[in-house]
Amino acid sequence: MTRRVRRPVIVRGQEAEDWEDIAAIFEGERVIFGTLQLPYQSRDAIRDRVENPRPNMHALVAVVDGRVVGSLGLELGQGRQAHTAHLGMMVHDSYQGQGVGTALMEAAIRLAEGWLAITRLELIVYTDNEPALALYRKFGFEIEGTLRDFAFRDGRYVDAYLMARVRTEEPS
């Protein structure tokens, strides 16, 4: 067996035409298991979401060999929470563990902290999703608490961690 060679990952803003690749990511069993997505989603609904993003949403995609294999959404808080953003991400089942998540996270943090002055970046992750937890810890996310019975997954209610990366020093 030959070991898969790590290919370069390019991160860019999400385009409307990415919807078909993104719809393919949504079909992955591991993607569904690890997120809040439902199986059997209509491609129309996914297309609509990609083509009409909400105004407070910044969406990034990761491209490998010309194909979108990862996506990350940064939802900005408003008003008294304008310094906060909520992050959600997913990587195609066949491309997990190959640096795609790392590339997306690096870009998202640069965007959030370098250009949007976000000082509280939060996300929610299932307590048993070890690869995701390792990625988030690597980027300085800390567990703030356990949300009991947070979501339903494959027949049972499961707990999740609320994690946040918080910068306490103000940008000058």
Which residue stretch of 19-27, 49-57, 63-71, 119-127 sits at the interface with another protein (rule: CB under 8 A)?
119-127
Shortest approach of another protein to residue 34 CB, angstroms? 12
What mask, x for binding another protein by CB under 8 A, covers residues 122 to 161? x---------------------xxxxxxxxxx---x----
Residue 56 binding another protein, by CB under 8 A: no
Q: Which of 127, 122, 95 is nearest to 6 (CA)?
A: 95
Strand partners, 74: 58, 87
> How many Å separate Cα 6 from the centre of its chain?
21
Residue 166 binding another protein, by CB under 8 A: yes
Shortest approach of another protein to residue 144 CB, angstroms? 4
The amino acid occupying position 52 is N
Phi, psi (deg, nearest 5) at residue 6: -70, 120
Which residue stretch of 34-42, 58-66, 95-103, 105-113 sits at the interface with another protein (rule: CB under 8 A)?
34-42
Burial letters 46-78, b for 16+ CB under 10 A, else e: beebbeeeeeeebbbbbbbeeebbbbbbbbbee
Residues that bind another protein (CB under 8 A): 36-38, 79-81, 83-84, 119-120, 122, 144-153, 157, 162, 164, 166, 168
